Amino acid sequence: MPRLEGKVALISGAAMGMGASHARVFVREGARVVLGDIAEDVGRELAAELGEPATFVRLDVTDADSWSAVLARAEESFGPVTVLVNNAGVAGPFTSTAELAPEIYHRTVDVDEHGVFLGMRAAIPGMVAAGGGSIVNISSTAGFSHAGTPNVAYTAAKFAVRGMTKAVAVEYASAGIRVNSVHPGGVLTPMVANSLDDAGRAAVSAGIPLGRLAEPEEISHLVLFLASDEASYVTGAAFVADGGMLAR
């Protein structure tokens, strides 16, 4: 049986990169999936390619009203959302704290941290009414260590996501809602491709015990497990998929 049979999932930042990969894997495993993103053209194209079990809705994760509208549309199209993947994120530029523009700090935290809070806040009531659900918050190895991460804003936001995950997991465990965080290392998505040339990529790979960056689908398999009922006893936990980077 497909591992997400009967589930309705909302994935933020699903137009490209890891979010798009999660969407493909979720559809393959029997879920109906709402793709939320600000990148409308690519998002719609992907939804069309995935066919009937997928739909695209414009979502700006920094806007509480946008979340309410997307959840209402999701329920209309497919039924109550019981899986939420808070994946949308921004990173960069690589800069020291003294040189980081306050606007970039605020924008990074707005998307990467506040966006996760707003997503959980919006989705929880429907999950409570449905008798439970699974929330997967995408943090990063930057949720454990500053090493190799673009700047202090990204590190701050990704640490916050790990903390929020535990708080909300404890708060809503009795409602049957599981909440976990996923911490990828370097993954070959537009986020990384845009910030690394070939030499940079080789240098990063050399610092990873497995000797390479991850393909997006290698992270999707972990997200799939956490979204599925196979993870029924798993909540409040942080899962690292980094090719051994943090073990160094």
Ligand X SMILES: NC(=O)c1ccc[n+]([C@@H]2O[C@H](COP(=O)([O-])OP(=O)(O)OC[C@H]3O[C@@H](n4cnc5c(N)ncnc54)[C@H](O)[C@@H]3O)[C@@H](O)[C@H]2O)c1
Sites of contact with ligand X (CB under 6 A): 12-13, 15-19, 37-39, 59-62, 87-91, 111, 138, 140, 184, 186-187, 189-192
Is 154 catalytic? The answer is yes
Of the pair 128, 238, the CB lying nearest ligand X is at 238
In Å, what is the CA distance from 56 to each residue of 119, 124, 167? Answer: 16, 21, 30
Q: In what order do the strands lie in the sheet with 8-12?
A: 54-58, 32-37, 8-12, 83-86, 133-138, 177-184, 238-241
| Partners of residue 99 on adjacent β-strands | none
**DSSP string for 30-65:** T-EEEEEES-HHHHHHHHHHH-TTEEEEE--TT-HH
Of the pair 29, 60, the CB lying nearest ligand X is at 60
Of the pair 17, 133, the CB lying nearest ligand X is at 17
Distance of closest approach, residue 232 Cβ to ligand X, in angstroms = 25
Query: Of the residues 105, 154, 172, 233, which is catalytic?
Result: 154
Of the pair 140, 165, the CB lying nearest ligand X is at 140
Distance of closest approach, residue 114 Cβ to ligand X, in angstroms = 10
Distance of closest approach, residue 85 Cβ to ligand X, in angstroms = 10
Q: Give the span between the Cα atoms of 222 and 238, in whole angstroms.
A: 11
Distance of closest approach, residue 131 Cβ to ligand X, in angstroms = 28
CA 189 to chain centre: 13
Active site residue ranges:
154
